[in-house]
A = this chain, B = another copy of it.
Amino acid sequence: MPEARTSTPRERYRTQVRAEIKEHAWEQIATAGASALSLNAIAKRMGMSGPALYRYFDGRDELITELIRDAYRSQADTLRAAADAGAGLAGLAHALRAWALDDPQRYLLIFGTPVPGYRAPDDVTEIAAETMAVIVGACAALPSASPSDGTADAFDAHLEDHRQWAGDDPAPSPVLHRALSFWSRLHGVLSLELAGQYTGMGFDPALLFDAELKDLLGP
């Protein structure tokens, strides 16, 4: 007989249904975007009628927040897994791009247009910090940032006074700078690609991504 029964059948059913709801929600978001997400449509597609979903989520906003949380979690796990597998900064970059292309709307749910008043819950920003920690770690493992060029960057000096977002990581500020640059630059090409801003231009976004990455890694 199973002794450590930490979950009742009811709880298991509940979490299973919640997961199924999110499944349908992701499907819907992938095909029509987050703004078109409809609780009613999800309920109908699950064979139950409208307001039943409110037993599982307080409303549309809570569902979306949960999806955002999962998206951040998935991103953090992906990058951490790559780092644990020994990937360097380049490996992280490609893991990030693969993750983004795997579900563009998931990426845009995090980094796309925010609603003006929205404030992400604390645990979500903690997951984001976790992701940044992985990136900072990979940057610290790099040969050297700003090597022979003796002139300290103005932003580096500024970062020295604003490094609390890196937690207790003792990395010197040029490393933090490189991490921010890494994140911002790759997001630049990635988000423009996902938003379709390059379509019609003809070139391969993957090559631009690699070019940016190479320039980012090179001296």
Seen from chain A, the residues whose Cβ lies within 8 Å of a Cβ on chain B are 30-36, 105, 108-109, 111-117, 125, 128, 153-155, 158-159, 162, 164-165, 177, 180-181, 183-189, 191-192, 195-197, 200-204, 207-208, 210-212, 215
Contact = CB atoms under 8 A, between A and B. Distances in A.
A211 B153 contact: yes
B116 A202 contact: no
A184 B207 CA distance: 13
B108 A181 contact: no
Given A162-B201, A211-B154, A211-B155, A116 B111 contact: no
A169 to B, nearest CB: 13
23 contacts: A30-B116, A31-B116, A32-B115, A33-B114, A35-B35, A35-B115, A108-B113, A111-B191, A113-B195, A128-B197, A154-B207, A154-B211, A155-B211, A162-B201, A162-B203, A165-B202, A181-B215, A184-B192, A185-B188, A187-B188, A187-B191, A187-B192, A188-B191
A192 B35 CA distance: 20
Contact of A192 (B108, B111, B196, B211): B111
A109 to B, nearest CB: 8
